[in-house]
Structure 1
Amino acid sequence: MLYKNYTDLVNKLVWIIPKKSKRDNMRNILNDIVNTAYKVEYIINSNNSINNKDYIIINQCDGFAGQLGKYIFGEFIKDNYNKNVKYDISWYSISGLDIEKKEKRKFDLLNCFEDIKIEIATDEEIEIYKRLFYYDSGDFYELCKNKKRLYCHFHPYIGSFDKSYVMKKLDMHKNLYHKLKGNNLNLYNEIINHPASVAVHIRRGDIKAHGGFGAFKNNDSIYKDYIFKAIYLMIEKLKPIKPKFFFFSNDMNWVKNNIFKYLNKEVDYIYCDNDNKDAVYFDAYLMSCAKNMIFTIGAFSQTAYMFNKNKNIIVISPDNINSL
């Protein structure tokens, strides 16, 4: 019985019950029975195995920034709690859609960082750990400290880790510089050679996904006002050097129609076209090379910042724009 997925079977069985409340009650009862059987068999097999190893499974089910956050969390757990860590990447083949169900996510961690190795959990390991050791809330560091086995379903923010620790574990320049070509290579050269390059990240989906436009109160006008204010504030901050703005977005048409059309003529800018729609980590890398940055809401901007090596960088974000 162990490692068999009975979820579909339970759902099929309960559909013969016409009333929803009774159907839901029966589903819960059957799931409890199945889970109890899983636990009993797992305990028997676990105690009877001489090769049994304890480990933590981390559920990878995010875009590139989320993948990095979970990888760094896994490394932190290995370094500080001496735990074995595996990753569940099954979501990318089952669903893999963003929160708006529009963009297909790819597991890009290993495509970007070819020099790292991770252990991928098997279907059997995922099934049993989900049944027995599933956690989606609580203090995960405390859980990892006190529990031998865990299935962690949560979203650690990469910005919560020390920047030097992230850069010690991952080297974006080493992995991506030699792959630059065409428009990406031209942008890279412009960014690093300009004395006041500014990466501007505009990601519409992140704004909508974080508290209904989060700081922008579900209002496009407020969001656009923030972008314009950030650009002109950056110009003031960098005087007498005239900055050049490098725009990155998953919706460049929106940026063209709502931002570029209304910028003052003296604003010098260029934008990254759709070359990287299937390899978004190139956007993060190019942004990380800029001498200054303007953030949007979401972890992608923060991800690029974590790899930025410029010492005197000016960062403008929705959190600090009114205090600069």
Structure 2
Amino acid sequence: MIIIKLIGGLGNQMFQYSLGRCLSEKLNCDLKLDINSYSNQCGLTPRNYELGVFKIKECFADVEEINHLKNKKRSFFQKLFGIKKIYYFSENSFSFDNEVLNLTENAYLEGYWQSEKYFKRIEKILKTEFVLKNEMPKSNKEFLEQIKCTNSVSLHVRRGDYISDPIINEVHGVCGLGYYRKAVNYIAEKVDNPHFFVFSDDKEWVKNNLLTKFPTIFVNCNHNDSGHLDMMLISNCKHHICANSSFSWWGAWLGKNDNKIVIAPQKWFNNCNRETKDLIPNSWIKL
């Protein structure tokens, strides 16, 4: 059995699930989700379990199963003969750690695991599971039709808690208008007649500040509690401009266009000490 601890918002949960799903597929064992972190929260940005909207393999770990793996110790004989069975595996850094993919036993995993290298081998499986259980609302379908019939480019602006929460702001910061201008210009050089579809948790700000000379549609049919619908709309766009956000990362990664152009910010964190070379797929453009 693999138990993966879920923390953070939708994008983070998708990274965590994807690693657990990859290991469960490799080891031919059950995957269970630990969602206890959502019971006791503090801070300005409370989160909820959000993966239930997708057609994933959803099974929750109980307290007994969690404690069994988190607290399990190596026996005297395992230590004597040098048998290194790992039952609790915690992410040590932001860089890809191949060791976790070499697990051969039941394990409890805790971390963010933000690299496609953890689950690239099951890409096709994930793209069949990260689809909506329920039909899109009519308001979303109207935008979807426009997305499908144009050279659509998703443009995601993350503000919200990146602005309002001082701790989160110190870690992440926000992508400036200069980044978005460069990204729009890059797309315009590569794509004929691009149509930009803007997604943001600060709709008024983007309307007042994000101006282009190209057709631009501000997607306003969803609220913060239905972000998964925005993500699905993003995934249907032909090309993508990401914010420094796991949310737009997943929207772009799930993109259905085999020839998609994906632009991501070179600076993902305010703290330059965090190594992000494994976060952005090699085929994406960093600006």
Q: TM-score range by the shorter chain?
A: 0.7 to 0.9
The answer on whether the counterparts of 1:276 and 1:282 sit within 8 Å (CA) in structure 2 is no
The answer on whether the counterparts of 1:284 and 1:303 sit within 8 Å (CA) in structure 2 is yes
> What is residue 61 of structure 1 aligned with on the other side?
7
Q: Which runs of no fewer than 5 residues in structure 1 stay unpaired?
A: 1-54
2:152 is equivalent to residue 197 of structure 1: yes
Q: Which runs of no fewer than 5 residues in structure 2 stay unpaired?
A: 73-86, 267-284
Number of equivalent positions: 248
The answer on whether the counterparts of 1:56 and 1:151 sit within 8 Å (CA) in structure 2 is yes
> What is residue 130 of structure 1 aligned with on the other side?
70
> What is residue 94 of structure 1 aligned with on the other side?
40
> What is residue 290 of structure 1 aligned with on the other side?
237
Q: What CA RMSD, in Å, does the superposition of the two structures yield over aligned residues?
A: 2.9
The answer on whether the counterparts of 1:158 and 1:299 sit within 8 Å (CA) in structure 2 is no
Task: State the distance in 2 between where 1:212 and 1:120 align.
Answer: 31
| TM-score of the superposed pair, with normalisation by structure 2 | 0.74
Residue identity opposite 1:156 in structure 2 = W
The answer on whether the counterparts of 1:167 and 1:306 sit within 8 Å (CA) in structure 2 is no
2:184 is equivalent to residue 231 of structure 1: yes
Task: State the distance in 1 between where 2:131 and 2:37 align.
Answer: 29
2:143 is equivalent to residue 148 of structure 1: no
Identity %: 27
Following TM superposition, by how much is the alpha carbon of 1:183 offset from its aligned partner in structure 2, in angstroms?
2.4
Over 3 Å counting, the alpha-carbon distance change for 1:163 and 1:271 in structure 2 is farther
Residue identity opposite 1:109 in structure 2 = L
Residue identity opposite 1:84 in structure 2 = D
Task: State the distance in 1 between where 2:91 and 2:286 align.
Answer: 32
Find the structure with the greater CA-based Rg.
1
Over 3 Å counting, the alpha-carbon distance change for 1:227 and 1:174 in structure 2 is closer
Q: Deviations over 1:221-259 (max 9, x none)?
A: x71111122112222222xx3211101112223323332
The answer on whether the counterparts of 1:72 and 1:158 sit within 8 Å (CA) in structure 2 is no
Residue identity opposite 2:171 in structure 1 = G
> What is residue 84 of structure 2 aligned with on the other side?
none
| TM-score of the superposed pair, with normalisation by structure 1 | 0.67
Over 3 Å counting, the alpha-carbon distance change for 1:147 and 1:300 in structure 2 is same
Return structure 1 stretches of 4+ with deviation > 4 angstroms: 138-141, 161-164, 205-211
Q: Deviations over 1:41-75 (max 9, x none)?
A: xxxxxxxxxxxxxx332101121112221222112
Which residue of the other structure, out of 110, 117, 133, is the alignment partner of 2:52?
A: 110
Over 3 Å counting, the alpha-carbon distance change for 1:305 and 1:164 in structure 2 is farther
Following TM superposition, by how much is the alpha carbon of 1:145 offset from its aligned partner in structure 2, in angstroms?
3.8
Q: Deviations over 1:86-126 (max 9, x none)?
A: 2111112222x6xxx3333221212222xx33321112222
Residue identity opposite 2:142 in structure 1 = N
Which residue of the other structure, out of 15, 22, 28, is the alignment partner of 1:82?
A: 28
Task: State the distance in 2 between where 1:290 and 1:223 align.
Answer: 22
